Chains A and B, each alone.
Chain A
Amino acid sequence: MYATTYHKAKTVDEAVKLVGQSESGKFLSGGMSLLPTMKQRLAAPSDLVDLRHIPEMKGISVSGSEVKIGGAATHYEIKESAELAKACYGLHSMASVLGDPQVRYMGTIGGSLANNDPAADYPAAMLALDATIHTNARTLKASEFFAGLLETALEDDEIVTAVSFTAPEKSGYEKFRNPASRYAMCGVFVAKTGSEVRVGVTGAGADGVFSWDEAASALSSNFSADAIKDLAVDPGELLSDLHGSSEYRANLVKVMAKRAVESAR
């Protein structure tokens, strides 16, 4: 790891200012993605500005069917929130299978979204929930936010301060873990509200997270695993690597989608 200077920001504005003033500063949340890259000397920010102690970025609130999660909320807080589990079962179940206990205690939803790892879990949930990403500068729809592998619509000095969405009637998440990293080799999030169904797929797409619209429309008239049993995903659009060919991932997308529908509550 290269030497770096650590700052603890008290407000979002202060954090933006600190990064702006630095030579090549970066925001730091859980550090669960950033620190490993620094240890491998693939990143060398001059300064790290910690966002986890900014009061306005903390907490989870559920009022009626409106859910808002602070950008600094940890995976653990998301997993443990009883209110959230009731409002959005899929997100609760997703956070339960994200990483391991150490990662869940440290990592945050804001950091994960900003990082947009193609195998991360949240992006599938955000698409399926049609979530809104709040930054210090604007709000974006999830579909506008993700921009391919490890790319987002964020500017360098833009902070994910919160995420909000309307709680679905039913939601579910099923994940097939990469045996080595335990990230998603394929994760499928389904959310249903009335006749509207969305299906977000992570870990499998060649260009990162995507919506599986064909499945969504089949499910909107018949919300059951049966409805998608004859659908197929084109392996040509999927990732192929050491752990799984695109054909295998195409199979996983379907199997996980069926299981997500079955487990949805």
Chain B
Amino acid sequence: MGIEGIGARVQRKEDKRFITGKGRYTDDMVVPGMKHAAFVRSPHAHAKIAGIDASAAEGMPGVIAVLNGKQLTDDGIGNLICGWMIHSKDGSPMNMGAWRPLADSTVRYVGDAVAIVVADTRSQARDAADAVVVDYEELPAIVDPVKALQDGAPQLHPEAKGNLIYDWEIGDGAATDKAIAEAAHVTELKIINNRLVPNPMEPRAALGHYDEAEDHYTCWTTSQNPHVARLVMSAFYNVAPENKLRVIAPDVGGGFGSKIYIYPEEIVCLWASKRTGVPVKWVCDRTEAFLTDAHGRDHVSTVKLAFDANNIVTGMKVDTIANLGAYMSLFSSSVPTYLYATLLSGQYNIPAIHANVRTVYTNTTPVDAYRGAGRPEATYLVERVMETAARELGVSPAELRRKNFVREFPHQTPVIMCYDAGDYDASLKAAMEAADYDGFPARRKEAESKGKKRGIGMSCYIEACGIAPSQAVGSLGAGVGLWESAEVRVNAVGTIEVLTGSHSHGQGHETTFAQLVAERFGVGLDSVSIVHGDTDKVQMGMGTYGSRSGAVGMSAIAKALDKVETKAKKIAAHLLEADEGDIVIENGELKVAGTDKTLPWFQMALAAYTAHNLPDGMEPGLKEGAFYDPSNFTFPAGCYICEVEVDPDTGKTEIIQFVAADDFGNIINPMIVEGQVHGGIAQGVGQAMLEAAHYDAETGQLITASYMDYTMPRADDLPSFQVSHQNTPCPGNPLGIKGCGEAGAIGSPPAVINAITDAIGTNKLDMPATPEKVWALLHSH
């Protein structure tokens, strides 16, 4: 590693502009003649639209147009779709209901868009939106996913009888039932995974610009994957063909999954721009974000874990009901199936697993992938039932886990995944040492003497990142391939541009991707620029989610760098009159090994472009592209330990320490990785102790629609984290990277809940562990 290469703790190149307020976000984009949009949204969770009267609104100051769903339908704009086909266990395809970008006959959740107002200013648009009179005929609403499946529940979509989207299974049911029947001990638990609101710092936004002269659309939007947005808008939503639609995702202030999806607003802004002849900008406010950004999690499960007389796990049976909200968002179907149930084996040898998953429609905001996407739900279930089993069996939680760890790789689980590498003992040991696990009983005693209740809990998580091998996901129903692309352009003076299909919205790609290049050619970070987020600049790419930009995105860059390196060496060998195999690249120079003959990098680049003296038959220039399709998922894993102290008088829990010991494979920039872990744990602690979306059971109103009621984690809710790494390189990709973006959010919730339940002596605690809940449990037994 050089001082700026792989493994160097360099500061983030992008931070100067972010910290000094010079980032350029969608809302900063201004084009001549631009006007402003506001959406008319349903105040009801479920209603028929009997009529829309826009006459008053149309006459208001500054109003250019009020457009509705019928006009959108007449113009041929298509339904929003879910791009991952799941079949029920009876072989039938999932029951997808229609999602109109602007509802034209029925609204199905509070916030469902009904009409768009375009006006000179944002205030005028909002005033006019308030004046649009929609005649709603209210229908009964259902928000609880379990009740939504019951007879007599209000029905959302004619396509989905009984609100059931699919009834899916994985694993061997008979073998699992047998293991449970023959078990020496079975631990059973009901697990609720609370619904979360993603809350990226930057709310969503879209600016649609139709250029009539060119018959061409440009869409600036807050996207984690602009090419996917263009593909979907062109192929399914009928906005415009790909060559006539440019999607730009400039600086994006966080996504956590919620900006993967293509939402109604960007489609409608593009369409409205054509209809009105003016560029149309919409910026989401925080209340709209609460109501309309795809939510995360929302599972209700039961789990049975079977053990033999030696405390070896023999089987696991899971039943899950997952709430997908009012409509199927872009990848919603895959989250509670292939991103969830395939991880139920955890870090353990489990010979038989069976999971049944039913997904349901309810009158709530659509649910889709949110940091971790399915893996937090799996980890929470596995690690809570493991800890509970240890308590029931009267053995140490660490010992029970150790006894069942996978130690031989590759390891084929009964639920598709094949783990390629890992060392679960190493992270468990490191975490226990860092937490002084053995010293806990003394600390508990000490706390008791002060009237406090201490608890300690652990979580040994595994997750699957680097999504994903295209053929594999295709066979499982994915509508797209999940490879990544890169193009490396060496300029005539030797500076380098990397065009990547990944998209950075907080991950620091401008730094880490440049470090990869710096490592390879020994050039300074400053001479490497990363270009992303614009479909007109960058070749087709799949974007950033599922902790894939390191393992997949950087692997594509590495492949392109290989090609550049080969050509550069050929040029150098020619100019230095040496053998190609003797050329080495070091510190920005190409050298003939074992001699003092060198060629500076920039001279090689210049030679490539002057083309005065290139090897026979070589094309001028130095620019190479690559597509990389991973051969497997990657499997980051680790052990998290949380120690808490509960105040029995108020039920308030304080986190005393939080230890994270992770195996992320090779690491490009430890500082950025630690930051990802910190942020992930903050969100995991948020889920465990603070955050929950609550809907009113009768009216379907989102009660927690602002920060007055939705508790985001703040700095003083969190301890100083102790983070370490016990890395085993990933054998599946050229860089040995596993991925680190989601681990913190995946591994931490069960560690927190295991600690609190340890402190208060019960296993019956659901997230979020609010002071009231903890107090009530303490005083109920």
- List chain A positions with a Cβ less than 8 A from chain B: 1-3, 39-41, 176, 179-181, 242-245, 248, 251-252, 255
List 7 A–B pairs whose Cβ atoms lie within 8 Å, in order of A's numbering: A1-B123, A3-B123, A179-B711, A180-B709, A243-B709, A248-B772, A252-B650
Q: Which A residue's beta carbon lies closest to that of B121?
A: A3
Chain B residues near A41 (CB-CB < 8 A): 126, 130
CB contact under 8 A between A179 and B770, given known A1-B123, A242-B704: yes
Q: Which A residue's beta carbon lies closest to that of B692?
A: A242
B563 within 8 Å of A by Cβ?
no
B222-251 at interface with A (beta carbon < 8 Å) = none
B707 within 8 Å of A by Cβ?
yes
Chain B residues near A179 (CB-CB < 8 A): 690, 711, 770-771
| Whole-angstrom CA separation of A2 from B704 in the bound complex | 24
The one of A1, A39, A244 in contact with B772, judged by C-beta atoms closer than 8 angstroms, is: A244
| Whole-angstrom CA separation of A39 from B711 in the bound complex | 20
Chain B residues near A39 (CB-CB < 8 A): 285
Number of interface residues of B (CB under 8 A): 26
Interface string of B748-777 (1 = CB under 8 A from A): 000000000000000000000011100110
CB contact under 8 A between A245 and B772, given known A1-B123, A255-B650: yes
Instruction: Assess the A180–B771 pair: CB atoms within 8 A.
Output: no
Q: Which B residue's beta carbon lies closest to that of A245?
A: B772
Question: Smallest Cβ distance from A247 to chain B, in angstroms?
Answer: 8
- List chain B positions with a Cβ less than 8 A from chain A: 123, 126-127, 130, 285, 287, 649-652, 690, 694, 703-704, 706-712, 770-772, 775-776
| Whole-angstrom CA separation of A251 from B771 in the bound complex | 12
The one of A1, A3, A176, A180 in contact with B707, judged by C-beta atoms closer than 8 angstroms, is: A180
Given known contacts A179-B711, A243-B770, what 15 new A-B pairs fall within 8 Å (CB)? A2-B127, A3-B123, A40-B706, A41-B130, A179-B771, A180-B707, A181-B707, A181-B708, A242-B694, A242-B704, A244-B771, A244-B772, A248-B772, A251-B775, A255-B649
CB contact under 8 A between A243 and B772, given known A176-B650, A181-B707, A181-B708: yes
Main secondary structure on chain A at its contact with chain B? loop
Instruction: Assess the A248–B775 pair: CB atoms within 8 A.
Output: yes
For the complex of A and B, the 9 pairs showing the least CB-CB separation, nearest first, are A180-B711, A181-B708, A179-B711, A255-B649, A248-B772, A244-B772, A180-B709, A3-B123, A255-B650
Question: Smallest Cβ distance from B750 to chain A, in angstroms?
Answer: 21
Chain B residues near A244 (CB-CB < 8 A): 771-772
Chain B residues near A176 (CB-CB < 8 A): 650, 652, 771
| Whole-angstrom CA separation of A248 from B336 in the bound complex | 35
Question: Smallest Cβ distance from B698 to chain A, in angstroms?
Answer: 15
| Whole-angstrom CA separation of A63 from B459 in the bound complex | 60
Question: Smallest Cβ distance from B96 to chain A, in angstroms?
Answer: 33
| Whole-angstrom CA separation of A251 from B649 in the bound complex | 8
Chain B residues near A181 (CB-CB < 8 A): 707-709
| Whole-angstrom CA separation of A245 from B779 in the bound complex | 14
| Whole-angstrom CA separation of A41 from B285 in the bound complex | 12
Question: Smallest Cβ distance from B285 to chain A, in angstroms?
Answer: 8
Question: Smallest Cβ distance from A91 to chain B, in angstroms?
Answer: 23
Q: Which A residue's beta carbon lies closest to that of B703?
A: A242
Question: Smallest Cβ distance from A11 to chain B, in angstroms?
Answer: 32
Instruction: Assess the A242–B709 pair: CB atoms within 8 A.
Output: yes
| Whole-angstrom CA separation of A243 from B770 in the bound complex | 8
Q: Which B residue's beta carbon lies closest to that of A251?
A: B775
Instruction: Assess the A180–B708 pair: CB atoms within 8 A.
Output: yes
| Whole-angstrom CA separation of A244 from B711 in the bound complex | 14
| Whole-angstrom CA separation of A242 from B705 in the bound complex | 12
The one of B123, B649, B651, B710 in contact with A180, judged by C-beta atoms closer than 8 angstroms, is: B710
Residue among B126, B708, B712 having the largest count of chain A Cβ atoms under 10 Å:
B708
